Amino acid sequence: MEQSNEASEYRWHAVFCKPQQDARAEAHLLNQGFEIFRPKVRRQQTRSGRRRIRIESMFPRYLFVRLRTAAQDWGPIRSTRGAVGLVRNGQEAVQVPLPVIEALRERCDEQDIVNLNGAIDYQPDDPVEIIDGPCAGYRALFKARTSEERVRVLLTLLNHERCVEVADSAIRRL
């Protein structure tokens, strides 16, 4: 019973960060002994015709910190490199509901990268539409997931069926 009482003393709060300083604030807050959660996502970026996958904050300029409600000094957060301070409503630091944090953590891997595509669980032979890339606009049948970010679909082109591998973000369910 004592442990649940101790757990109830802690609350999650959002920290507002300086532009493009989320990772820096996270590192410095971790060095100060704070418990931090900064969910990240993979984003596709095209530059000079080349696609790259970048890992960046799911909520740019924000991260979450778990703080004790009474006994912890929150002052160092304001002076932490990269951080501006806690998100507040007037004088009160806004709390992030625990179910929100838990739901995000359930979808994260060990590097706190959120699997956005994992919410769509395709089954073999599900009809899909290709929405990105050279085959955009074609309909196909989902066949298999080949890696974390790639899928194989069966596409009919010129009356011939071909298995094609595309990015999982390039398809959507019909």
What is the mean predicted confidence (pLDDT) over 56-64? 93
The pLDDT value recorded for residue 43 is 76
**DSSP element (H, E) containing 3:** helix 2-8
> In this predicted model, which residue has the larger pLDDT, 21 or 8?
21
Query: In 44-165, which ranges are continuous DSSP H helix?
Result: 75-78, 98-106
pLDDT band at 2 (very low <50, low <70, confident <90, very high): very low
41 and 81 both lie in a single domain: yes
State how many domains the chain has.
2
Residue 141 forms beta bridges with which residues?
A: 127, 154
Whether pTM exceeds 0.75: no
Neighbours of 120 (CB within 10 A): 13
CATH of the domain at 141: 2.30.30.30
34 and 98 both lie in a single domain: yes
Least confident segment among 22-31, 36-45, 107-116, 132-141: 107-116
Domain span holding position 137: 119-173
CATH of the domain at 47: 3.30.70.940
Does the pLDDT of residue 3 top 50, yes or no? no
Does the pLDDT of residue 18 top 90, yes or no? yes
30 and 46 both lie in a single domain: yes
Does the pLDDT of residue 6 top 60, yes or no? no
pLDDT digits (tens, 9 = 90+) for 88-129: 998 888 899 999 999 888 888 888 888 665 546 678 898 999
93 and 155 both lie in a single domain: no
The pLDDT value recorded for residue 20 is 93
